[in-house]
Structures are given as C-alpha cells and as structure tokens.
Amino acid sequence: MAPLKWIFRTVRGALAVIGLLALIVGALLAYPLVQPPELKSVREGAVAVDQSGMPDTSRFQARDGTSLAYRLYPGAGGVTTKIAIIIHGSAGHSKSMNQIAKRVAATGFTVVSLDMRGHGESGTRGDIAYIGQLDQDLEDLVAELRQQYPKVRFSLLGFSAGGGFALRVAAGKLDADLDRVVLLSPYLGYDAPSSRSAGSSALWANPDIPRFIAFGILNRLGIRCCEALPAIAFAVAPGSERYVTPQYSYRLLVNFAAPPDRAAAFRQLKMPATIIVGGADELMFPDKYADVVAGVQPLIEIKILPGLGHMDMLHMPAAMDAIAAEFAKN
C-alpha cells in the first residue's frame, strides 16, 4: 500500500500546484487594461496630414479569404515596374500615410498604402487570427501584384511600429522581392536603445503587464489560448475609435512589431536600407539608432532631420523631401 499512498500524495500535490498556477494565471489575465490619456502630439500630427487627392480603397483577398484594403497611387509617368508598399504606424491606417504616398508616387513609383489587418478597413479591428498572419498577408499582396505587373520590383516603407514590421518582413520571406527598405522613425522594441522608456517620453502606449506575464507562463507550457485578449492600449483621442485602433490583442501586438533579434534582422537584409527620424522625436532617441545598427554590414544609412517630432514625419516638408530623395535613388 505504501507505493499507492506515495503515488496518491504525488498526484494530489501536482494537482494542487496546477490549480494554484491556474488561479494565478487567471488572476493575471483578468487584470484590466487601462486606456492612457490622449497624447496630443499624435492627434495633432494625424490631423495635420493633408487628405486631398487620396484614392478610394481597393482590395485583395488574403489566403484565409479575408478581403483586405489598400489605396493605390499611380506613379508619375504611368510607371508600373516599380511599386512602393507603405505601412502605417500603431493604431493608424492608410489615410495617415497620404502625403507620403503622393510624394513617393511623384518620384515614379506606383504606391500601395495598406490598411494592415486589424486596422482601418481590413479585418477585425484590433485583432488577427494568429501570430504570423500579417507576414502572410504581405506575401499574398506581393503575389497578387506580381500577377498584375509581372516585371515589377518592390520597395518598402514603414512608419513607427510599421517600421519595425517592415524590418521583420524585409529580413524574412520577402527579402528577394525588395530593392529598398525605408524605416521611418521605426519602433524596434521596448528594449531597443532607440526606444524611449515610459519615464523618459510622452506616454503613447500602456501595456497590460500582468497579462504579459500570464501569456509568458502559458507560452512556456505550450498553451496558446487567450491571445485574443487586449494586451496594450494607445493614447488616442476619446471618441476616435471609429477612425483608429485604440487597443491591440496580444497576437496583433506581437506580430505587428520588429523581430526579436534586431541585430540579426539588420544583418540579414539583402537590400539598401535607410532609417529616417526626426531630431526632436518625443518617442524615440534619434541618436541611438546608430547603436542599434553598429557593426552591421552593409552599412545602414541613418538620416536625422533637425527639429522634427515623431508625427512630423508624416507631413512636414523636410520629411517629405528626405523620403522622396530615398525613392529617387536608382
């Protein structure tokens, strides 16, 4: 009987531990997500973007059957052999990239400005089905554009969180499709030298730390449940939910981001890459991007534009000139 008692006690102890762990994880997941106060510099920058000349949305079908939205800007001179794909920042949409899209189109590129899945008119606002779905969406878009324009070559521009995501895909399966990548004030992760900490910058995003701890525990156990729960809230204006995405699920947050190993991603780039950032960026340390790419070959060009803040990169003349100059290069 002694072995049976030992087995019974062991099982009972294991069940007690599992039960306690379940209670802890449940309590962490239940911790409420808090919406931060509006960050006025972001709202004012978004409002300053000229919306004139913006085309209506077009659509393509992703592999899961979802119809995703983009705006198509014909290139000057009717050029269809060069396409620039443009990716907006966190909480944003294609409308916020209108001035950049028009300026790049004026350099002779056909421009495709996306509503990333989970934003704007693409999919369920604030969520995706699984981590990696955004990468597949971009692959599907490139494949469809190749059917329409067989001889096309692609360039990629991403702003803020979209810049981190652009690095992710440029170093991934799309590396052979891209001739150039431009990272506009890219957010490269909370632990990147270029990212200001919560105490040293204006508060744009408020993560639900207890939920992150719970997701970490579950991931270690191989459990992928609950990733549709909101994990981060952005400092958008009250009542703006019709236009922007105020919260991200955990899986959208993880996917719409820079790769975990930034240095490796930069080393894997097979195309010219440029980082453009405002010298007065309130969310990033402009001079720290050099630390991020130190020692990377080929060299990553960094352009710091004096006096410009984070959202100024979407509309100020100096930013438009710097972006256009990148796309005007051979």
Residue 158, strand partner residues: 87, 183
Among 110, 106, 201, 108, which residue's Cα sits nearest to residue 160? 201
- 201-250: per-residue pLDDT in tens? 678 999 998 998 898 888 888 888 889 999 999 999 998 988 999 999 99
Residue 145 counted as domain residue: yes
- The residue ranking higher by pLDDT, 78 or 195, is 195
pLDDT at 222: 86
Q: Which residues pair with 105 in a beta bridge?
A: none
Query: Could you count the other beta carbons within 10 Å of the beta carbon of residue 80?
Result: 16
Asked if the structure places residue 188 within a domain, the reply is: yes
Q: Give the domain range for residue 104.
A: 40-328
248 occurs within a structural domain: yes
Q: Which two tokens stand for residue 218?
A: 């579950």
Residue 83 · residue 134 · CB < 8 Å = no
Tell me the average pLDDT of the chain.
90
Q: Is the pLDDT of residue 156 over 50?
A: yes
Residue 234 is assigned to a structural domain of this protein: yes
Question: Comparing C-alpha atoms, which of 176, 326, 171, 173 is closest to residue 262?
Answer: 171
Query: Can you give the pLDDT at residue 20?
Result: 43
Confidence of residue 6 (pLDDT cuts 50, 70, 90): low
Which residue would you say has higher pLDDT here, 240 or 185? 185
Dihedral pair phi/psi, residue 163, rounded to 5°: -70, -40
Other beta carbons less than 10 A from residue 192's beta carbon: 19
Domain-located, residue 61: yes
- CATH code for position 262: 3.40.50.1820
Mean pLDDT over residues 135-147, rounded? 97
Say which residue the tokens 């004096």 belong to: 306
Length of the chain: 330
Number of domains present in the structure of the chain? 1
What's the rounded Cα separation, in Å, for the pair 37 and 203? Answer: 8
pLDDT for residue 14: 47
The alpha carbon of 162 is separated from its chain's Cα centroid by a whole number of angstroms, namely 3
Does residue 165 fall inside a structural domain?
yes
In a domain, 24, yes or no: no
pLDDT at 2: 57
pLDDT one-digit tens code per residue, 12-32: 544 444 454 465 656 666 667
Residue 21 lies in a domain: no
